[in-house]
Amino acid sequence: MTQSAQFYIEQLQLDRHPEGGYYKSSFRANEEMATRDVLRPIYTSIYFLLRSQDISHLHRLQSDELWYYHVGSPLTVHMIHPDGTYEAKKLGINIAAGEVPQILVPKHTIFGSSVDDADTFSLVGCMVAPGFDFADFELFTQRELIADYPQHEAVIRKMAYAELK
């Protein structure tokens, strides 16, 4: 039986994430590598929990991010690729329904996530390589993204902050 979102937030000691949802760093490589003229861990990993009433707002990283499904409802990862194409992938374990248990978000892709089922949540893992650093994290407003990607206005209005907090 799946526990509640609050159970996982408390038991895993998750904190609020600036993009939305809850997270906690779970692993950080001891080894580092030079990338973009700075040292980063080879990889980092977090737990990430998103409730159906939350949005993981559109943002971009300078590294690849691999998402792993753990428990709860499927999660939709919304991506605007560097060439301007939009893609939505479902992270979950119902393969017959088109869900996949792992999703790669390539570096430089603008992305966010949502849980489409009402009154539920999704707990996933996210591994970033080279490792995550908030210096490599960009959060966007609707105005910024609509100016660059007007063809995706509907999803941008749903998935981006009206203005940054």
Q: Could you read off the pLDDT of 83-103 as tens digits, one per residue?
A: 999 999 999 999 999 999 999
Q: What pLDDT shows up at residue 1? A: 53
Cα(84)–Cα(110) distance, rounded to whole angstroms?
Answer: 10
Cα(92)–Cα(72) distance, rounded to whole angstroms?
Answer: 9
pTM for this entry: 0.95
Q: Residue with structure tokens 């992938």?
A: 89
Q: What pLDDT shows up at residue 164? A: 77
Q: Does residue 6 register a pLDDT over 80?
A: yes
- Environment class of 40 (CB within 10 Å of its CB; exposed 0-12, middle 13-18, buried 19+): buried
- Render pLDDT for 131-154 as a digit per residue (tens, 0 to 9): 999 999 999 999 999 999 999 999
Q: Does residue 165 register a pLDDT over 90?
A: no
- Render pLDDT for 37-79 as a digit per residue (tens, 0 to 9): 899 999 999 999 999 999 999 999 999 999 999 999 999 999 9
Tokens read off for 127:
């591994």
Q: Does residue 125 register a pLDDT over 70?
A: yes
Give the mean pLDDT of 111-118: 96
